[in-house]
Every structure is written in C-alpha cells, then in structure tokens.
Structure 1
Amino acid sequence: MESTHPPLHARHWPALRFFCLAGLLGLLLGCSSLPTIVPDLDRDAGPPVQLEGTHGPLSAAQSKAILDRLSSSGQTTDIFARHLALEEAIVGSPLTTDNRVLLLQNGPATYQAMFAAITAAQDHINIETYLLDDDEIGQRFAQALIDKQRQGVQVNLIRDSVGTLNTPTAFFKRMADSGIKVLEFNPVNPLVSRKVWALNQRDHRKLLIVDGRIAFLGGINISGVYSGSSLTRAAHPRIDGTTPAWRDTDLQLQGPVVAELQKLFLAAWENQKGEPLAAKNYFPPPEHAGRQVVRAIGSSPDEPYSLIYATLLSAIGSAETSVHLTNAYFAPDPQLLAALKAAARRGVEVTLILPSQTDSWLIFHTGHGYYEQLLRTGVKIYERRGVILHSKTALIDGVWATVGSTNLDWRSFLHNHELNAVVLGAEFGSQLQVMFDNDIAESDAITLEHWLHRPLNQHLKETFARIWEYWL
C-alpha cells in the first residue's frame, strides 16, 4: 500500500511545519474541543421557512408552495418538514429562490468559466482563496486580474497567509502595483498582523464574485494541479510525471444568493481590517436567473460552532433514505461519527467516497482509523482511484445538497473559515447523484473483511496519525 500513496508535495512542507508548530503550541496552551454542535433537534422548528426572491422576502404561502414543490419532486424525506427551519435558525442566512446553479466537475471546466466571467467584468471582482500558486495557472489569473484593474474594474483579493506561504512576495506586489487591493489573511508574521494574532485560524474559502451578479465557490484553489481533467478513464494525465490530476467540484451561481456571498466576502475584509474598498456597485438589483433554491453558509472560528457543520449534522439526523458524502479529508469527530452510524442503523443508505491517494499523509491515515467501526454499522465506503480527490459534497435524500470548501475534519470545524452553498430540490440533486455514481464507478469498495486483514504497518500509521488529528 505504501507505494500507491504519494508523499507530500514539496510545496506543502512549510505548511506542515507551520501546523506542527501550532500543534506544539496547542499542547502547551491547552486544546479546545468541539462543543456539542447542534441545538436540540427535538425542539419545535419555529415559524415556517420564508424564502427570499429577487424582490425581497416571499409570503408564507409563496414560500410554502415552493418548498412543497421541491418536496414532492424528490424522495420521501423529513428534510423539508423538519430540518429547514432549524437550519435557518442555526445559520441565519436566508434561503433564496430564482437562482441558477451550474455544476462544475473539474479544474479545466471551472477555470474556463471563471476566466470567461473575469473577462466580462465591468465593475468589480472580489476573490478569496487559500492557495494562489506562482505557476502557469496562477500567472494566468494574475494577468487577467491585472488587465481588468487597468481597465477600471476594481479587483479585491483576500489570500490566506499559510496557503500562499510559498508564493513569492513579488507575485503579489505586481498585482498590488497595478491597483489591485491585496489583503493577507491572518499573517503568519505577527509584526504585520492588523488584529489579534490568530496563528491557527486560516481562510480556507474559495470564492470568486464578478460584478455582484455571478459567483463561483467550491474546493478548487488557484493552482496548476487542477490543470488536468479527471472526468474519464482516458483523462488521468500526470501533471508533473508523478502526481495524478486532482478531482474537485465547484458551483457557478447567479441570482439573489450572490448578494449573500458578497456579504460574506465584505465581512471577511472588514474583519481582517483591510483598507477601505473603492466605492463600487457591490449589490446590484438581483435578477431572476433560474428556479433553484440556494442558501449560502459561511463558517468562522469566531462563532460558537461551525454553522456548516451544524447544518450538516442536522441534515444527516433528518435523513430518511440516503446520505451520500464525498470528501477529500476525513477525520470525523465523535458527533459526526455518531450521526453517520445512527443513520445507517435506522436504515438510511450511508455511502462515503474518500481518497485512495492524497496530498496529506497524516489526514489520510487518520481517516482510515475510523473505517472499521463505520463498516460494522453498515456504512459503505469507497476509495476513488486514479486521481487526488479534493471534492467536498453531500447529497441527502436526493434533495438536500451542499458543495463547498468544508472538509470533514477538526480543522475545518474548529479552525478554518469555510464556505458552502446548500441547494434544494431533486433537479440539482439528480445532477449531483449522477456525479456521485460516476465517482463510484471509478472507485474501489472497501469491505469489512478486506479491512480487517490490512497489514500491521497500516495500523501503526493510523495510530501515529491520530496523535495529530486535532491539528490536521
């Protein structure tokens, strides 16, 4: 098994050293732990869910009619009756209707759509990212943004300090010299920090907003590792001769939900004490773009608990038929583990697609340590072949779907700023299901019998990795 799992890429070693340092500091200062995340799921859901459209909040009757339509078009599920009001109470952001959602399933398709939107920009471009590499893809993005800035389109960029640790200062200086506003999120260097130094809080969001009308979010960073397509058997090119293509998922969004994403970006800028932004039309009148119902959810370590995690746990707890999760980094805390096992025990089909190879040796083997107990309760586990799986998606009962940046690990739930979109209804759910089925076809099933006979060195790796679980 050792030869099938590539080592960490060289560009990840500085970040690994950083998190090891953070881990040692945490051991000295004391570790926080995940609180009981989800409010009482047995309480009354409260007032009916109210949707927001292009002209503001819909009436209770209009909202009910839309939710009834979504419910009737899918499987028998408790999601709409039980979960949505609680989700709204947890998250606070509205369910918006009149949206268009396009599913983007690999790097080339996502980058092509992003470059088209950037080229067409007329007013402003807001971009928030964890990684922005100084490679061919990063240079293309930088030049496209510089070109728009010179045309009078204001570009505002939030880049995570750790994620861009290996990107030369000159790369960002060139952008700043063109007039682009570049904000370093939680600088590693405490001498340049603009607020309380938060070494372990990272910005893991991936967000691009153009003119306040079109947005992209998901798991894709700006890096050449996404240059290869991962959709077919024939399209598994090796990027550098050793590393396979990365498999990721993003969304292109238009409609009222874009304003909610814009609020999250501007709040992040303000929270990081960035310099005042140029006056631009950040909130144009919303337009009717489609029929999709979408909620934007941003999570922050400054909140009592991860809003994305809370709503995911609630959705899994409300599932009646199926829970289909695809995730790059899997190290569940006791609550998520209990929710998955409880769903399987009550007859819900729980299926996980996880990586067969990874860029993170520690998180990979940490996740393996949970396989046996999940398999014993009836959870199905598959490992995706031929690619570096980086997707973060969930589909529950075929009608509640989420795509975003959130991994199923402690770092995402406790330490990272993350961003997801929840999309309701069988129309989008069926698209995500097709993608899920295609990934299953390219995956290997992990059976309990096979897993119990794994080599001793595998057990040792899992034990060692679990020591670092909290900090991965």
Structure 2
Amino acid sequence: MHFRLLCISLLGLSLNAQAAFSIPGFELVQTAPVETTLSNSDLADPVTVWCQQFDAAKNTIDIAQFYVTSEPGEPLEPVLKHLRQAGERGVKIRFLMDLHGVRMSNEPTLAAIKSIPNLTFQLIDFGKIGGGIVHAKYIVVDGKSAFVGSQNFDWRALKHIHETGLLITDSKIAAQVQAIFNVDWQAQQLLAEGKAVPVLNHQVVAADESQSAYLVASPNAYNPAGVGDSESELPKLLAKAEHEVYITVMTYAPLSYSYKKPAPYYAVIDDAIRAAAQRGVKIHLMISAWNTGKPYIDYLKSLQVLPNIDVKVVTIPEAKQGFIPFARTLHSKTMEIDGKIAWIGTSNWEGGYMNNSRNLELVLQNSAMANRLQQLQLQLWNSVYAAPLDINQEYPNPHPASAN
C-alpha cells in the first residue's frame, strides 16, 4: 500500500494524498460520479494515476483511445497539461485513435493533443482490419507500466460516469499491452501505405491460466504472441464458476453492436451465463439504464425470469448543473467469480466487441482483488441507483449513447 499525491488542477489547487487499494503489480482505479454516494477513499482516481504516469515517464508514452473530448476547467485538462509537460521534456508520445471516434471528439481537444511537442498522432480505421473499432482505452509508459480500464479520454469519464480500471506495474503484463499497441500502430502504417495487415493468429489462442494474472484481448486474429483470446476466455471462466458471479457492464445483449437491422444474433456470452445459472450458480447482473431500449430489454427480461439470475438496472441521476450528454451512467466492465477471480476490461458484453474490435481485459486470480472488486460491485448493487428489472414494466428507449 502506498500513497499518491493528486494532480494539481488548472486552478492551482493541491488536493490531499490518497491511499490506493493494490495487490502486487496492480492497483484498482475508480471513477465515482460526482454527487453520488459511490466514492471510495481507498481507490485511486484516474486523473491522479494518469498524471503520475506521465510525470514518471522517461522515454515513451503510448496511448490508444476510441475518442477524446475535454472542456475548460474539467478534469481532463490537468491530464493534458501533464502529458504536454512530458512531451516538453523530451518524452516520445504516440497517440492512436480510431477513425470512427472523430465524430465523438471535439476539435479543440484534438488540436490540443496534436500540438503537444514530441507527440505523433495517428487515426486508424480498425474496421479495415478486424471489422470493428479500437474500443480499448489504455496507456503504456516506458513499456513498463500501463493503465487499462473503461475510462475513455473524456472529461465526463473522469467525473460523471461510473468507471473501473487498473494501473498495471507488473512488467510482463505491461510488456504485453505495449506489444498490442505496437501491432496496431504498425497496422495503421500498413493501411496508410495501402498494404494488407497480416493476420497473426489463424486459430484461437488460449490464455495462460496458470498465471495469477493474465491479459486477454480481441480480436484474436490480431493479438500478439502471449496474449490470449478474450472471446473464448470469458465463457471458460463462467464455466468454472461454482457459487456466485457479479457482473457490471454498460450494455448486455445476445446481439451485435451494428448498424444492421436487425442486429446479428450473438449468443457466445448469453449461452455461458444461462449455462452457469442452470447448474446452480447465482448470477448478479447490473446494466446501465441506457440498456433498456428494445430489443435489448426483452433479452434482459428473459434472463430475469430464470432461476439463479438477478438483473438490476442502474440509473445515475442528473447532475445539479443539468443534463450532460453521454454522461451520468454505468460504464464499468467488470466480473467477479466466487471471491477468487476478477475480470476488469474495456468490452461491453454484446457482439462486435470481443470478436472484431480491439479490446483488452485483465484476469486476476487473486482473492484480495476479487473481494475488493465484489465490494465495489455490491456498493452499487445495494445503492439507491440500482433497481431490480421488472419484467412487467415498459421501459423507455434511452437517449442514444455515443460514449460506448
């Protein structure tokens, strides 16, 4: 356990030191929406973690994001300030963003990032590679430490959205995250030259479950050596569950995230959850109120009627300042199994994420981390913000959520 000094804000205010829950190689990082009762004094916040990572960088910083957006006076501003300071002292920075994220980004933020000294910015059309998007949100510093989590490079993800991530100081895992970035950076360069991006894996790569902590990613075809396939690993872990599973995710459905109508059926995760419940495992599933539109709500109701499955809908109330687009929601992507296994990643639980988009997930076979993650999940599960899904209720179609 150690202490972190929070970043100095643009207003020049210095905040108090904060303890962070950790196990060897990993620290749990949370965003609790302001004006809720969901904060935790023992969990680090991403602004602190990202600023300290940038301050500690000696040679390189690599960042991959779906989109970027900041606002004056909001919490991404100090992050950008510390990133600029790293570039000014000679740290080489590479920033990779998905082409489809441009429409969700604001131009001043893009311009601010591109103006940072020693920073190279590239857009990648991951649809031309895996068929999806770069949905992963991660940072690698000097190839030795990394951050992976649900937090987008978005001021709202640092203040108004329920998010969960991990600071990674385990050198092996950090090196694997670095390898994923290198694969995608090189893929973008090949695309820019009009060349084909080679498939790295023609068969599913199994995760090394002998490790106490391991990284899985998607899509399997473009994972570097040593990184297992997240799409096959998630059902394998659910098949191991014996007693109880807690799942927290923004969107869930046996459908593919797609502009196609109807959306393609995708049963990989849904089948695994139903199979676990059928053999007596208690499944506790929390989803965002953004997940209540049709036909999503119908699939959720079909889970709620089954023995051993409880579904709750999480609604974060509007902030005092008024409506904020694409904010005030549950966006964490976590799972805890039997007090033994913690899953923390970047994928929503529907098709299009673990099969053809770039996403990263950490599996920690550690009871301390699993129990702390369960406590975080139970805090939300037992809060006033989570309500049981009522199979007889007609739920409204939510406002379209671009920040997915």
Flag whether TM exceeds 0.5 (same fold): yes
- Measured in 2, the distance between the counterparts of 1:115 and 1:264 equals 22
C-alpha distance in 2 between matches for 1:434 and 1:352: 15
* 2:269 counterpart residue number: 336
Partner residue of 1:425 out of 366, 370, 378: 366
How is 1:186-197 mapped onto 2 (pairs within 5 angstroms)? 186=125, 197=128
> Which residue does 1:104 correspond to in 2?
29
How far, CA to CA, are the matches of 2:91 and 2:283 in structure 1? 46
Instruction: Give the corresponding residue for 1:325.
Output: 247
* Candidates 340, 343, 347, aligned match of 1:399: 340
Query: Counterpart in 2 of 1:283?
Result: none
Give deviations 1:227-253, integer Å, cap 9, x for gaps. Answer: 43xxxxxxxxxxxxxxxx210101111
Q: Once the two structures are superposed, what CA deviation does each residue of 1:93-125 show, in whole Å capped at 9, x if it has no partner?
A: xxxxx9421111216811111111112211111
1:218 aligned onto 2:154: no
Separation in 1, partners of 2:353, 2:187:
19
Match of 1:22 in 2: none
Specify whether residues 159 and 141 from structure 1 end up closer, same or farther in structure 2 by C-alpha distance, changes over 3 A only.
farther
1:383 is aligned to 2:333 = no
For the residue of structure 2 that corresponds to 1:415, the secondary structure is coil
Aligned match for 2:212, one of 278, 281, 293: 293
Q: Measure how far apart 1:142 and its partner are.
A: 3.2
Do the aligned partners of residues 140 and 398 (structure 1) sit closer, same or farther apart at CA in structure 2, a change above 3 Å counting? same
In the alignment, the residues of structure 2 paired with residue 164 and residue 138 of structure 1 have an alpha-carbon distance, to the nearest angstrom, of 17
Percent identity for Structure 1 against Structure 2: 20
Tell me the SS of whatever aligns to 1:163: helix
Residue 261 of structure 1 pairs with residue 177 of structure 2: yes
Aligned residues: 317
TM-score by length of 2: 0.71
What SS class does the counterpart of residue 202 from structure 1 fall into? coil
1:217 Cα offset (Å): 0.6
Quick check: which one's strand share is greater? 2
Tell me the residue number matched to 1:160: 98
* Higher relative contact order, chain-length normalized (CA < 8 Å, sep 6+): 1
Give distance in 2, aligned partners of 1:303 and 1:369.
34
Unaligned runs of 5+ in 2: 1-22, 33-43, 193-210, 255-265, 317-327
Deviations 1:26-46 (A, max 9, x none): xxxxxxxxxxxxxxxxxxxxx
1:446 to 2:384 alignment: no
On the 8 A contact 2:231/2:355 being kept in 1, the answer is no
* Superposition pairs of residues 308-319 of structure 1, within 5 angstroms: 308-319=230-241
Matched, 1:408 2:337: no
Letter in 2 for 1:377: L
The one-letter code of the counterpart of 1:149 is G
What TM-score comes out, normalization by structure 1 length? 0.61
Q: After the TM superposition, which residues 17-32 of structure 1 pair with which residues of structure 2 at under 5 Å, given as runs?
A: none
Answer whether contact 2:76 2:158 (CA < 8 A) is retained.
no
Does structure 1 retain, via aligned residues, the 8 Å contact 2:130–2:356?
A: no
- Give the alignment's Cα RMSD to 1 decimal: 3.0
Structure 1 position 271 matched with structure 2 position 187:
yes
Distance 2:111 2:268 in 1: 44
Quick check: 1:248 aligned with 2:178? Answer: no
The answer to whether the Cα contact below 8 Å between 2:218 and 2:355 also exists between their aligned partners in 1 is: no
Paired letter, 2:85: D
Bigger proportion of residues as helix: 1
Match of 2:63 among 108, 127, 134: 127
Equivalent-residue separation in structure 2 for 1:315 and 1:164 (angstroms): 35
Q: Give CA-to-partner distance per residue, 1:281-335, whole Å, 9 cap, x none.
A: xxxxxxxxxxx9311112127459x921210011111211112111001112323
| Aligned counterpart, 1:349 | 282
For the 8 Å contact 2:68–2:110, the answer to whether it is kept is no
Cα deviation, residue 226, structure 1: 2.6
327 and 147 in structure 1: CA distance in 2 versus 1, 3 angstrom threshold:
same
Q: Which residue among 373, 378, 398 is the counterpart of 1:437?
A: 378
- State the alpha-carbon separation in 1 of the partners of residues 52 and 110 from structure 2: 22
For 2:68, what is the secondary structure of its paired residue? coil
Q: Which runs of 5+ in 1 are unaligned?
A: 1-97, 188-195, 229-244, 276-291, 466-471
Partner of 1:202: 133
> Larger Cα Rg: Structure 1 or Structure 2?
1
SS at match of 1:104: strand
